């Protein structure tokens, strides 16, 4: 039996990674997410957040840290909507319930101590 020499491309294919379960590594990374309980805010801190919210105007550039689906997220951008009756703040396309806000900062927002 005579073996023919394998060309370089065919040899390289032997060592290429093989994903038997496509998407499995990504699914594992999603499962690794740490679940965080929503923090209970003190009355003083809630009052501070309310004062900060009263300073927010449409078209202001702000950063908001908020609770969403068992984790805290931060979004920075232009305020596109403030709905006091529905208790919603919209930063670009992200709608945030007032009750989920953890921190607000911006150039026009005075921080209280």
Confidence of residue 16 (pLDDT cuts 50, 70, 90): low
Q: By CB neighbour count within 10 A (0-12 exposed, 13-18 middle, 19+ buried), where does 80 fall? A: middle
For the segment 49-59, the average pLDDT, to the nearest whole number, is 93
| pTM of structure | 0.69
Report the pLDDT value the prediction gives residue 26, as an integer from 0 to 100: 80
Report the pLDDT value the prediction gives residue 19, as an integer from 0 to 100: 65
Report the pLDDT value the prediction gives residue 112, as an integer from 0 to 100: 58
Residue 58 DSSP one-character state: T
Distance of CA 66 to the CA centre of its chain: 9
Confidence of residue 72 (pLDDT cuts 50, 70, 90): very high
For the segment 61-79, the average pLDDT, to the nearest whole number, is 94
What is d(CA 102, CA 74) in angstroms, rounded to the nearest whole number? 10
């Amino acid at each position: 039996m005579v073996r023919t020499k394998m060309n370089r491309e065919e040899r390289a294919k032997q060592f290429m990674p093989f994903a038997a379960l496509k998407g499995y590594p990504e699914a594992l990374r999603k499962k690794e997410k740490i679940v965080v309980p929503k923090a209970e805010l003190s009355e003083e801190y809630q009052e501070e957040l309310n004062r900060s919210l009263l300073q927010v105007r449409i078209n202001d550039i702000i950063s908001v840290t908020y609770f969403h689906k068992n984790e805290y997220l931060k979004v920075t951008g232009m305020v596109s909507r403030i709905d006091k009756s529905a208790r919603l703040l919209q930063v670009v396309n992200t709608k945030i319930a007032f009750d989920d806000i953890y921190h607000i900062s911006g150039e026009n927002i005075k921080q209280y101590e």
